[in-house]
Amino acid sequence: MCGNNMSAPLPAIVPAARKATAAVIFLHGLGDTGHGWAEAFAGIRIPHVKYICPHAPTMPVSLNMRMSMPSWFDIYGLSPDADEDEAGIKRASENIKALIDQEVKNGIPPHRIILGGFSQASANSANKDMHVLQCHGDADPLVPFVFGSQTAEKMKSLINPANITFKSYRGLPHSACPEEMVDVKRFIEKQLPPISDE
């Protein structure tokens, strides 16, 4: 992963079909890898967009009886009041920032880079004007739908509420579906249109 220290393999990449003038960096969920997401993005590819799907390092995860699996940081519990692995979150954030910096060095302006993920969320004052597409299946047994709804409402208090789109998918468990991937493609097309000389 571009000079990281996460002990993870290089990201799965779906190159742009022509000159890359935009990028999507997409983080997988706990226990997964970037390969499946790269395959999903290959199916909705936009010609001027490069898709980068990094792999989390393998580490013991407290939530899963300390079994080793791909994880961006340790997870102690799923309840809203569970402790968080602040050092691990900071380390993962720094490594993702390094991926963004690498794409900027490759000539892609920061405003043409989207950071996304499965089972992820973040907002702070530095990115209060960003646009967010949050998708959630209403049959998710791992992350209850109410958590997704509450996250969307919390995000509206942190960033411009007009920039938040929350989409739900009937009967969808903790996974993605074709309808959702079409919504993701439309979001990317709207946020990263072709540059006039493309």
Q: pLDDT tens across 63-94, in order? A: 999 999 999 999 999 887 899 999 999 999 99
pLDDT at 120: 82
> Which residue among 32, 55, 85, 140 is the active-site one?
140
> Which residue among 119, 122, 149, 168 is the active-site one?
119
Within 10 Å of residue 24's Cβ, how many Cβ atoms?
24
Give domain limits for the chain.
9-124, 125-192
Q: What is the C-alpha to C-alpha distance for residues 169 and 162, in angstroms, rounded to an integer? A: 21
Q: Is 174 a catalytic residue?
A: yes
pLDDT at 4: 43
Give the dihedral sign, CA 150/178/172/51.
negative
pTM, 2 dp: 0.89
Q: pLDDT tens across 18-45, in order? A: 999 999 999 999 999 999 999 999 999 9
> Which residue among 149, 168, 174, 183 is the active-site one?
174
Q: Is 140 a catalytic residue?
A: yes
Comparing 125 with 129, which gets the higher pLDDT? 129
pLDDT at 137: 97
The CATH code belonging to domain 9-124 is 3.40.50.1820
